[in-house]
Amino acid sequence: MTELLQKRQEVLEPSNEANSLVQFYALGEHWRSDVAFYHDEIRFLQDLMESYFHHFLDQMNLAWAKRMERKISILDRRREEIERKLNLHLHHICDMIKDNDFRQEKHLLQDQEELENLLATYAKDFRTLKKQIFTLTENGLRNFQKNQD
């Protein structure tokens, strides 16, 4: 087989490594979408806390609301760090695909696993905090309505 035909076949039939990288990149883009969703959710929760909660919470709940606001802030910083790592990871994948260089694939797999663990933990922590905030909202509204009657 001539060199030109061999190169053409390599382009038409990507290696398993290249397919893996494309799959990793697709998963990374999915994760980036999740991170963007969490960013929007955090902004919503911050607006909810700042705009509405303080009007109907008693002193005990107000202290709890402040703690929730701090937790939201911490979660947002964690989200930013995950987003930074994810963007670096995707950039690295692009470079590997572009350069057809698979020598650092082991390091890439470690990064992929770390990101997966970070996102899973983040999602769990986010759901827990969101549930706490909604419970706080329900209790605050219930007390506010009782006081209005």
Q: Of 117, 107, 101, 130, which is closest to residue 31 (Cα–Cα)? A: 117
Q: How confident is the model at residue 56 (pLDDT cuts 50, 70, 90)?
A: low
- Residues 120-128 have a mean pLDDT of 97
Candidate from 54-68, 74-88, 99-113, 129-143 with smallest mean pLDDT: 54-68
Unique residue bearing structure tokens 């910083």: 77
CA distances 14 to 3, 78, 91, 106, 125, Å, are 16, 36, 20, 19, 39
Measure the CA–CA gap between 42 and 48, rounded to whole angstroms.
Answer: 10
Q: Of 76, 69, 74, 70, which is closest to residue 36 (Cα–Cα)? A: 76
Residue ranges of the domains in the chain? Answer: 18-148
- Residues 120-130 have a mean pLDDT of 96
The percent of residues above 70 in pLDDT, for the chain, comes to 80
Whole-model pTM above 0.85? no
